């Protein structure tokens, strides 16, 4: 029996009473009360808890969070989670703080329902000390006859001999088949069409160097189409903002790939898809922009003196209203026959044998990847060196777009290159992108604040046509909001300026001799110091 395993299948022919009788011949047994419950396992859409070694389930309003090391957090009187629930509905305490550190802004979704029945046994030695805990549990999907009968061993430090004796005893009873302690959970997920770790926002497609460009890009686009479809339901239902974010990333990656790999497919055949995905990107943009503003609400309020915060709270209340309207408009578009037809036609195109090709269709993908990454890395290196304290925001934004194209091309084709060397190239690019992303977010927020202030000024006369007390109250509220927005703009501007200098420091790591030599070795053509 493998000492690294702690959960084992109990044969159908072995009665639990017979097993307990065997254990009682060697240890004093303390049987805790038997438990029976129907629990719902919960995680985020992208399995953040599972990846962190955490398992969460709820029985009615009682929540249990288990860690790999055996640590357990219990919460009674917590929220229900019928469709989805956010971290905000949990009361302050260990459960909420632990979950928040892992799931961030993602919603918790009910994944699988499992019936549990079992009992915990404490095994004591002659001195009356507990030397091991053993859980005998049965997991069954509701309505199913098949069940998982399991023995779960929980050793205690300092009692290795007793642990070995228990393992030998279990083996003698025919308990030799290891199983995941989450067998019921995993079976429940499969029954609902899910599988642990079946979704990640990361692009992880593996390509073979011998593929033609057409074959490789069919796979790339197919993977991105799957990501779009996976995120449509959560986006339409507005479960959390990450569904829309991931949907937009898949669309943006698709549009970038269409631009990066010109010549692989027929230009005429791609025209309707380029237009269709551009429209899809534009239609989802307003809601995502407002999501970004709302996600910054807490940090924005913290920037201001308490006396200025009420005006800003009114501003975010208005943003919330705008976001609801933008969401409704977006859902109508996403649910239209136009979008459905776009995705179906794109799938038919990708699964054709073969899709109509262009002049580069039969080029080995490794050669095309070399050329694409080489070209865009050189462009980023060239344009990045010109950024200084006076560079207009628009040029910085364009550099950010160029970095995204380079990053996407590296994601698409990373499997064609040595993993360690490629990771060394991507690391400084990620750092540069992080700075440019922060800079852009600050610019966009300032633009929205400025537009809001201008809008209020343009309509000032109309608002002053009110009478008496109502007019005065309106003017005071508006003046308070303008003061708050102005103060926030100044704070954002002050935060933004040091990023230019920080960019220059981080960008230097991309132009080091080591990085340039690595580019040369991977992609062939000479990379020069810009």
pLDDT score recorded for residue 321: 96
The highest-level CATH class for domain 201-359 is mainly alpha
Give residue 529's pLDDT. 45
Report yes or no on whether pTM surpasses 0.85.
Answer: yes
Three-state DSSP class for residue 41: strand
Q: Are 406 and 456 in contact (CB under 8 A)?
A: no
What is the C-alpha separation between 186 and 199, in angstroms, rounded?
15
pLDDT attached to residue 525: 57
pLDDT average, residue stretch 3-19: 85
Tens digits of per-residue pLDDT, 445-498?
898 889 888 876 545 544 554 454 456 666 777 788 888 999 999 999 999 989
pLDDT of residue 472: 64
Task: pLDDT band for 516, please (50, 70, 90 cuts).
Answer: confident
pLDDT digits (tens, 9 = 90+) for 400-418: 999 999 999 999 999 999 9
Exposed/middle/buried for 134, CB within 10 Å: 0-12, 13-18, 19+? Answer: buried
pLDDT of the residue at 504: 86
The single residue listed with the structure tokens 């628009």 is 394
Q: Which of 48-52, 141-145, 520-524 has the lowest mean pLDDT?
A: 520-524
Please give the backbone phi and psi of residue 78, each rounded to the nearest 5 degrees, phi first.
-80, -170
The band of 527, judged by pLDDT with boundaries at 50, 70 and 90, is: very low
Q: According to CATH, what is the number of the domain 364-530?
A: 1.40.20.10
Q: pLDDT per residue over 425-445, tens digit each?
A: 999 999 999 999 999 888 888
Q: What is the 3-state secondary structure (H, E, C) of 18-85?
A: HHHHHHHCCCEEEECCCEEEEEEEEECCCCHHHHCCEEEEEECCEEEEEECCCCEEEECCCCCCCCCE
Weakest mean pLDDT among 172-181, 219-228, 494-503: 494-503
- Residue spans per domain, the chain: 7-191, 201-359, 364-530
Convert the pLDDT of each residue in 76-135 to its tens digit: 999 999 999 999 999 999 999 999 999 999 999 999 999 999 999 999 999 999 999 999
- Tell me the average pLDDT of the chain: 90
CATH number of 7-191: 2.40.320.10
- In tens, the pLDDT along 219-241 reads 999 999 999 999 999 999 999 99
Matching fold, domains 7-191 and 201-359: no
Give the span between the Cα atoms of 30 and 122, in whole angstroms: 5
Looking at the predicted structure, is the pLDDT value of residue 16 above 50?
yes
Residue 346 in tokens: 């794109």
Note whether 62 and 78 are within 8 A (CB): yes
Answer for the pair 154, 134: CB distance below 8 angstroms, yes or no.
Answer: yes
What's the confidence (pLDDT) of residue 5?
55
pLDDT confidence bin for 512, thresholds 50/70/90: confident
More confident residue, 463 or 276: 276
């Amino acid at each position: 029996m493998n000492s690294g395993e702690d959960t084992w299948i109990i044969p159908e022919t072995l009665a639990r009473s017979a097993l307990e009788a065997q254990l009682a011949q060697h240890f004093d047994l303390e049987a805790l009360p038997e438990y029976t419950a129907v629990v719902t396992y919960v995680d985020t859409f992208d399995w953040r808890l599972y990846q962190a070694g955490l398992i969460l389930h709820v029985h009615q309003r009682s929540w249990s969070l288990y860690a790999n090391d055996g640590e357990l957090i219990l919460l009674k009187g917590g929220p229900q989670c019928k469709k989805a629930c956010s971290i905000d509905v949990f009361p302050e305490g260990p459960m909420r703080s632990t979950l928040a550190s892992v799931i961030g802004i993602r919603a918790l979704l009910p994944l699988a329902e499992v019936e549990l029945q079992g009992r915990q046994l404490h095994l004591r030695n002659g001195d009356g000390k507990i030397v091991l805990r053993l859980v005998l549990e049965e997991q069954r999907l509701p309505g199913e006859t098949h069940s998982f009968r399991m023995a779960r061993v929980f050793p205690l430090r300092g009692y290795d001999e007793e642990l070995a004796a228990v393992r030998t005893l279990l083996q003698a009873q025919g308990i030799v088949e290891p199983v995941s302690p989450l067998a019921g959970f995993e079976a429940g997920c499969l029954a609902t069409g899910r599988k642990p770790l079946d979704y990640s926002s990361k692009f992880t497609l593996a390509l073979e160097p011998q593929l033609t460009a057409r074959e490789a890009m069919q796979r790339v686009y197919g993977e991105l189409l799957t990501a779009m479809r996976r995120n449509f339901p959560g986006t339409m239902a507005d479960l959390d903002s990450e569904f829309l974010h991931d949907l937009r990333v898949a669309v943006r990656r698709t549009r970038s790939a269409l631009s990066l790999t010109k010549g692989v497919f027929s230009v005429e055949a791609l025209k309707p898809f380029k237009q269709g995905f551009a429209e899809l990107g534009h239609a989802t943009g307003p809601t995502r922009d407002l999501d970004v503003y709302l996600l910054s609400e807490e940090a924005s309020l913290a920037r201001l003196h308490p006396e200025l915060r009420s005006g800003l709270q009114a501003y975010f209340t208005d943003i919330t209203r705008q976001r609801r309207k933008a969401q409704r408009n977006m859902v109508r578009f996403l649910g239209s026959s136009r979008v459905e037809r776009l995705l179906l036609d794109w799938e038919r195109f990708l699964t054709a044998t073969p899709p109509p090709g262009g002049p580069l269709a039969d080029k080995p993908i490794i050669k095309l990847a070399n050329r694409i990454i080489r070209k865009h890395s050189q462009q980023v290196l060239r344009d990045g060196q010109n950024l200084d304290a006076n560079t207009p925001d628009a040029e910085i934004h364009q550099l950010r777009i160029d970095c995204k194209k380079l990053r996407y091309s590296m994601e698409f084709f990373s499997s064609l290159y040595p993993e360690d060397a490629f990771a060394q190239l991507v690391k400084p690019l990620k750092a540069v992108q992080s700075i440019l992303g922060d800079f852009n977010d600050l610019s966009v927020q300032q633009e929205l604040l400025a537009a809001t202030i201008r809008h209020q000024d343009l309509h000032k006369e109309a608002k002053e046509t009110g009478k008496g007390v109502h007019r005065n109250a309106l003017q005071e509220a508006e003046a308070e909001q303008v003061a708050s927005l102005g103060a926030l703009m100044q704070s954002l501007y002050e935060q933004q300026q040091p990023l230019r200098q920080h960019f220059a420091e981080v960008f230097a790591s991309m132009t080091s001799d080591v990085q340039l030599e690595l580019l040369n070795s991977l992609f062939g053509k000479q990379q020069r110091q810009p």
